Amino acid sequence: MPAPASSLPDAPQEILDDTAIDAVIDWFTVAGRDLPWRHDDTSSWSILVSEIMLQQTPVVRVLPRWLEWMHRWPTPRDLDEAPTAEVLRAWDRLGYPRRALRLKDCAHAIVTDHDGEVPRGPEALRALPGIGEYTAGAVTAFAHHGRAVVADTNIRRVLVRSVRGEASPGAAFTASERALATNVLPEDPARSVRWNQAVMELGALVCTARSPRCDACPLSSRCRWFTAGRPAQQGPPVRRQAFEGTDRQMRGRIMALLREGPASVDQVLGLADSTADDRPQRCLDSLVRDGLATLEEGTVRLP
């Protein structure tokens, strides 16, 4: 018979002690990259833009686009007033161009509902178009210097390895992982911001998915995954999405064509890799549905 609930032992709280947190922050002070959106004089809007651009996109690709973007549209009002076609051209090859549309929608909401100022607090941020749990937490921490759980893939990887001894996090951010990130987060707001920056950088530069450099990690001596011999992930392997030959690749080709100027439907269909390749028509239809292209009298253009 199972023991009464009142007599069951409490589950151990998953934490990193102050020494471990200090070690990561000290490492970041020395090894962290000098990225412009980390500068003290960077606006909340600039940080929000960087977070949207950095979703599923490496820093090396984002940096030049972000610099150009902030030069052209330094405030939400500037972006709100910009032609949609110009916004999509400036997005260039960052990928997932619907993010550019959501960012423009977000700018409009900030101008209309918040007098041009990025609102404070996770609830107000999540009410903006295209802003989810992660981005709201990141803007709260990095732009408004508040205590917030920030859990991108890099942070999640560091936490499950160091605290749980697991090789990698799952595909979805679970309630269990959210509790882990909350337990580890320092109580002091300023310290929590620094921790979020530091552990994110550690996951990006050292505790990487494919080639972790455990010899350079400030957590190696207390990392459960490393001390256990870096065991392989249990369960089915996480499948990596292919790109070559996919609709996403074809959508990118069509967008690249349209950034050069209007194109005929025949030009779009001519992007097919073979006579049996039906992706151009399917992807053109999806781009029109998503508001990324318009089609009128046989001509396709940016909206």
pLDDT tens digits along 117-134:
999 999 999 999 999 999
Residue with tokens 């890099």: 154
pLDDT tens figures, 159-196: 999 999 999 998 889 999 999 999 999 999 999 999 99
Domain parsing of the chain, residue ranges = 44-142, 247-301
Nearest to 207 by CA among 17, 24, 20, 21: 24
Residue with tokens 């979703």: 55
State how far the Cα of 249 lies from the Cα of 115, in Å rounded to an integer. Answer: 38
- pLDDT of 276 reads 85
State how far the Cα of 265 lies from the Cα of 281, in Å rounded to an integer. Answer: 9
- pLDDT of 5 reads 40
CATH architecture of 247-301: Orthogonal Bundle (1.10)
State how far the Cα of 255 lies from the Cα of 258, in Å rounded to an integer. Answer: 5
pLDDT, the chain, mean: 92
Residue with tokens 């709100």: 80
State how far the Cα of 24 lies from the Cα of 10, in Å rounded to an integer. Answer: 29
Question: 7 pLDDT exceeds 50?
Answer: no
Contact 210, 157 (CB under 8 A): no
The mean pLDDT of 35-54, rounded to a whole number, is 97
Cα 125 to chain centroid distance, Å, stands at 15
Nearest to 290 by CA among 21, 102, 122, 95: 102
Question: 3 pLDDT exceeds 70?
Answer: no
Nearest to 39 by CA among 18, 60, 70: 70
pLDDT tens figures, 215-274: 999 999 999 999 999 998 776 655 666 778 899 999 999 999 999 999 999 999 999 988
- pLDDT of 239 reads 63
The mean pLDDT of 76-91, rounded to a whole number, is 97
CATH class label, 44-142: mainly alpha
Amino acid identity of residue 68, one-letter, is E
- pLDDT of 157 reads 97
3-class SS of residue 291: coil
Which residues are the active-site residues?
Answer: 51
Question: 6 pLDDT exceeds 50?
Answer: no
Question: 11 pLDDT exceeds 70?
Answer: no
Contact 146, 138 (CB under 8 A): no
pLDDT grade for 10, boundaries at 50, 70 and 90: very low
